[in-house]
């Protein structure tokens, strides 16, 4: 089997060909993503897209580890990054290390991701110094939805300085890359030019060093709502609805199973 990309190799691709990133939560989707992606994130978005939760806040460490183990079985080449869930790292660097170490040991991930800029820099440094590569996540940080008052664009006007400062702080703390979520494109371009680690955009700019999307969003599988920054490359929910409708119709008409789907008591199988 091929050797997986490392966080150091992802970092070294700053300014090069765009890094292709997607989320995955299960083995079969991880296999599909691995064929084309540099980095696969087991995002805490799993809570919303697979578990029907209203936000990412109720997602637990156990959920992240279980999905991380599932994704790991589908990856050969892409770097696997696992999100640290809300409440698992904010209290102290020591708390963050204990939980990040569990994620790394129990899933085989190559890195963890956590939300926060300047205020999480000390924690990022603590983890990196102890052997855990960290991807940072700034701009719109969904785990702070209650403090932010919604899922609005971050870094508009004077607020741009705060996001630029966050980007510099996580870079200085040793993060190997940073997700920029839902910030103005010009700000994303400015940050991409200013910092020495790859910026991975989602609702940011085509000028970022890479892009990420939630897999269920880009496949049109999660269709409860569609943020502006999502492009649907397929419409799997609509395809699934049509398949289920046809199945129901055929069962009710006794058209399924057909002769080729049933067995006789003679001959080979």
Q: What residues are annotated to the active site? A: 181
CB of 21 to ligand KIV, least distance (A): 8
Give the residue, chosen from 22, 23, 29, 190, that forms a contact with ligand KIV under the rule CB under 6 A: 23
Element (H, E) at 125: helix 121-129
Decide if residue 216 touches ligand KIV (CB under 6 A).
no
Q: What residues are paired with 177 via a beta bridge?
A: 135
Note whether 233 and 215 are within 8 A (CB).
no
Whether residue 14 is annotated as binding a ligand: the answer is no
Q: Of 2-10, 39-47, 85-93, 224-232, which part binds ligand KIV (CB under 6 A)?
A: 39-47
CB of 266 to ligand KIV, least distance (A): 53
Give the residue, chosen from 44, 166, 209, 216, that forms a contact with ligand KIV under the rule CB under 6 A: 44
| Antiparallel, parallel or unpaired: β 177-181 and 79-83 | unpaired
Dihedral, CA of residue 62, residue 68, residue 73 and residue 77, to nearest 10:
-170
Give the residue, chosen from 64, 111, 112, 202, that forms a contact with ligand KIV under the rule CB under 6 A: 202
CB of 93 to Na ion, least distance (A): 20
**Residue 11 vs 262, nearer CB to ligand KIV:** 11
Rounded CA gap, 225 and 55, in Å? 13
Decide if residue 45 touches ligand KIV (CB under 6 A).
yes
Long-range CB contacts (within 8 A, 24+) of 147-150: none
Decide if residue 154 touches ligand KIV (CB under 6 A).
no
Rounded CA gap, 117 and 175, in Å? 10
Sequence-ordered list of residues with C-beta below 8 angstroms from that of 205, at least 6 positions apart, any chain: 180, 185, 186, 188, 189, 192
**Residue 107 vs 190, nearer CB to Na ion:** 107
Rounded CA gap, 110 and 115, in Å? 17
Decide if residue 114 touches ligand KIV (CB under 6 A).
no
Note whether 137 and 124 are within 8 A (CB).
no
Q: Of 29-37, 40-48, 191-199, 231-239, which part binds ligand KIV (CB under 6 A)?
A: 40-48
For Na ion, the binding residues (CB under 5 A) are 43-44, 83
Note whether 226 and 237 are within 8 A (CB).
no
Whether residue 115 is annotated as binding a ligand: the answer is yes
Question: How far are the Cα atoms of 49, 225, 226 from residue 242, in angstroms, in the given order?
Answer: 20, 19, 20
- Chain residues binding ligand KIV by CB under 6 A are 23, 41, 43-45, 83, 137, 179, 202, 212, 214
Q: Which residues are annotated as a binding site for 3-methyl-2-oxobutanoate?
A: 44-45, 83, 113
Indicate the annotated binding residues.
Answer: 44-45, 83, 113, 115
């Amino acid at each position: 089997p091929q050797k997986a990309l490392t966080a150091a190799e992802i970092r070294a691709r700053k300014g090069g060909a765009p890094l292709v990133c997607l989320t995955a939560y299960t083995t079969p989707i991880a296999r599909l993503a691995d064929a084309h992606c540099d980095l696969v994130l087991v995002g805490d978005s799993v809570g919303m897209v697979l578990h029907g939760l209203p936000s990412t806040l109720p997602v637990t460490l156990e959920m992240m580890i279980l999905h991380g183990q599932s994704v790991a079985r589908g990856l050969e080449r892409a770097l696997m990054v696992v999100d640290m869930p809300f409440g698992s790292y904010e209290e102290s660097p020591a708390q963050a290390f204990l939980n990040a170490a569990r994620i790394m040991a129990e899933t085989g991930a190559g890195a963890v991701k956590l939300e926060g800029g300047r205020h999480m820099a000390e924690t990022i440094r603590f983890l990196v110094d102890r052997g855990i590569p960290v991807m940072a996540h700034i701009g719109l940080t969904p785990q702070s939805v209650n403090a932010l008052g919604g899922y609005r664009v971050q870094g508009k006007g004077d607020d741009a300085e705060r996001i630029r400062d966050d980007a510099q702080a996580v870079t200085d703390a040793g993060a190997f890359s940073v997700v920029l979520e839902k910030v103005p494109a010009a700000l994303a371009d400015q940050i991409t030019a200013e910092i020495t680690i790859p910026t991975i955009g989602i609702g940011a700019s085509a000028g970022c060093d890479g892009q990420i999307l939630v897999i269920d969003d880009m496949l049109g599988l999660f269709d409860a709502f569609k943020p502006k920054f999502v492009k649907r490359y397929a419409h799997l929910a609509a395809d699934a609805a049509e398949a289920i409708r046809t199945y129901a119709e055929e069962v009710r008409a006794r058209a399924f199973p057909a002769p080729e789907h049933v067995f006789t008591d003679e001959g080979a199988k």
